[in-house]
Amino acid sequence: MVRRTLLFMAIGVLVAVVPASAHHSFAAYYFEDQSVTLEGTVQEFHFRSPHTVLVFTAPDSSGRTQTFTAEWGNPRRLSTQGVTVETLKPGDVVVVTGSPGRANSQYKVHLKGIRRPSDGWSWVGGRR
């Protein structure tokens, strides 16, 4: 009986831990306590799991145009907030706010807010 109880406890712990280990910590890749705002032009919009990705060009801190990658939320969650595969198109001018990437050589942002000045559409941390 004791073995059986221990077996079920071990299985319970494994079931609880395995899904959690599959997801990375954003703080490991981004300075979550910092914020940057970039105005640029959408190049690509990948509405896919596990994270939606926005690729856009914008000037860096020295004024040179760079290609940035913004990691966004899960498409299932974003779709409940009104974001769809049709929301952003190449050529759209957007203002992106987010946490900068930790690696200086990579132009990455953990997207926290976005707006499209042409029509006033916006999304901020789960709200449209």
pLDDT at residue 77 in the model: 94
pLDDT at residue 95 in the model: 99
pLDDT of 2 over the 70 cut: no
pLDDT at residue 29 in the model: 81
Kindly report the average pLDDT of the chain as a whole number.
85
pLDDT at residue 1 in the model: 59
128: pLDDT confidence band, cut at 50, 70 and 90?
low
Number of other residues whose CB lies within 10 A of the CB of residue 52:
23
Q: Beta strands 108-116 and 65-71: pairing type?
A: parallel
Please compute the mean of the pLDDT values over residues 1-29 and round it to a whole number.
53
61: pLDDT confidence band, cut at 50, 70 and 90?
confident
Q: Which of 31, 112, 19 lies closest to 71, judged by CA?
A: 112
**Residue bearing tokens 């990691």:** 71
Q: Which domains does the chain have, with CATH numbers?
A: 26-124 (2.40.50.140)
The DSSP symbol for 87 reads S
The answer to which of 36-45, 66-75, 89-98, 102-111 has the lowest mean pLDDT is 102-111
Please compute the mean of the pLDDT values over residues 70-84 and round it to a whole number.
95
pLDDT of 121 over the 90 cut: yes
Please compute the mean of the pLDDT values over residues 105-115 and round it to a whole number.
92
31: pLDDT confidence band, cut at 50, 70 and 90?
confident
